[in-house]
Structure 1
Amino acid sequence: MARTAGSHSDITGPRVAQTALRLFARHGYAAVSMRQIAAEVGVQAGALYNYTADKQSLLFDLMRGHMDELLDARAAVPMLQDPVARLEGFTRFHIHFHLERLDAVFVSYMELRNLSPENFAVIEGLRRRYEDELEAILRDGVQQGLFGVADTKITTLAVIAMLTGVTTWYRAQGRLTVPEVESIYWDMIRKTVSA
């Protein structure tokens, strides 16, 4: 199939992904058609298949890209020994990273139900890797008598839900800066897990 005059794969491919992410976040995966994505990008609907196999692949690639970026960014952070310092670092990292990617966060959490079972298993595995780091921090803190947590898995899920919730209400033009939000959340989490 011939490419639309003036289109470039290194430009159009990322535009397809960015447009799909924005539309999925605004309208929901089920409500967005490939034709709608193509119209927003400015290409014919058939041309989208030069960049993705189908809409399910597009959703999976967006979620996989988000998780890969998250895990790579987290791996680049130096690992501290002290569980309290590690938990604070995780808290601040999670908020900062996710506030810069609101659409990706929304799609990654709200559209899981639309993944095929095979794709869901991959994304769930990547999410578990991220959750496992937080649970290891909590376990270390409990073993050292620093944290008073009855169930590290439940606490892990609760802390991640709490931290991710910032993306639903935070506005850059609001009264708090990102570092201020990080500090407030760190104080709440510290009190939540304290022994």
Structure 2
Amino acid sequence: MTRTAGSHGPTTQKAIQDAGLRLIHHHGYAAMSLRQLAGEVGLQVGSLYNHIRTKQDLLFDLLHGHMESLLTALDQALAETADPEDALRRFVAFHVDYHITRKAEVFICYSELRSLEPDNYAIIVGLRRGYERRLIAIIEQGVARGCFRVGDAPVAAYGILAMLTGVCTWFRPDGRLTAADLIDQYTAMVLNAVKGP
């Protein structure tokens, strides 16, 4: 495939990231080749290096961009609420919606974490812990105010995250439930879990 006419700079960079995301999601990081990636965006393999240094850099940039976007969007969703129950409702709605609308990014962030080199791995894990800490803080605040009853806030948070993230594996937009239905059901389950008997 020949280079796309007029492709340059930021436009080409975005095309490379979009194609890289699709290829890694479909084939896996180890199986994806830079030759495939170059072909997807209409570049010669040698020209690809004008935009990315290595395949590892591409993976890191995809995961880092995903985590930065996730954290920024979550902070916006949680802004201007001081009530733990409201914050937890917002967290559930945000997490479910984000994870069903950005399935490819979420999938590779979980499945390809193992493919990162140690320094890159530490950065992404640190960002993931930041996301987890936001949920832990909501639960701890609810416990402190007497509206949540959990014995261990981090364990409760990890359980909630595992349940919510599971929607990526089975939810279909054309299925029996709408996204709004799903958010309502998961919100009810999460609130029941943290409020206790």
State the SS of the aligned residue for 2:30.
Answer: helix
Normalising to structure 1: TM-score of the pair? 0.94
The root-mean-square deviation of aligned C-alpha atoms, in Å, is 1.4
Using the aligned pairs only, state the percent identity: 45
CA drift at 1:11: 2.1
Tell me, in whole angstroms, the C-alpha distance in 1 between the residues paired with 2:177 and 2:57. Answer: 38
Tell me, in whole angstroms, the C-alpha distance in 2 between the residues paired with 1:179 and 1:124. Answer: 30
Tell me, in whole angstroms, the C-alpha distance in 1 between the residues paired with 2:80 and 2:131. Answer: 14
Q: Structure 2 matches for 1:32-43, cutoff 5 A?
A: 32-43=32-43
Point out 4+ residue stretches in structure 1 off by more than 4 angstroms: none
Contact 1:94-1:163 at 8 Å conserved across structures? yes
Alignment correspondent of 2:44: 44
Runs of 5+ consecutive residues of structure 2 not aligned to the other structure: none
Contact 1:79-1:86 at 8 Å conserved across structures? no
State the SS of the aligned residue for 2:175.
Answer: coil
State the SS of the aligned residue for 1:53.
Answer: coil
Alignment correspondent of 2:168: 167
> Is structure 2 residue 115 aligned with structure 1 residue 114?
yes
Number of aligned positions between the proteins:
193
Distance 1:112 1:8, change over 3 A: same
CA drift at 1:128: 1.0
State the SS of the aligned residue for 2:36.
Answer: helix
Tell me, in whole angstroms, the C-alpha distance in 2 between the residues paired with 1:177 and 1:52. Answer: 39
Distance 1:73 1:36, change over 3 A: same
Contact 1:19-1:40 at 8 Å conserved across structures? yes
Normalising to structure 2: TM-score of the pair? 0.93
Alignment correspondent of 2:82: 81
Deviations 1:43-77 (Å, cap 9, x if unpaired)? 11111111111000000000000011111112223
Contact 2:3-2:43 at 8 Å conserved across structures? yes
Runs of 5+ consecutive residues of structure 1 not aligned to the other structure: none
Tell me, in whole angstroms, the C-alpha distance in 2 between the residues paired with 1:5 and 1:163. Answer: 40
CA drift at 1:139: 0.6
Alignment correspondent of 2:69: 69
Tell me, in whole angstroms, the C-alpha distance in 1 between the residues paired with 2:181 and 2:124. Answer: 31
Tell me, in whole angstroms, the C-alpha distance in 1 between the residues paired with 2:95 and 2:143. Answer: 21
Contact 1:96-1:178 at 8 Å conserved across structures? yes
Tell me, in whole angstroms, the C-alpha distance in 1 between the residues paired with 2:3 and 2:146. Answer: 63
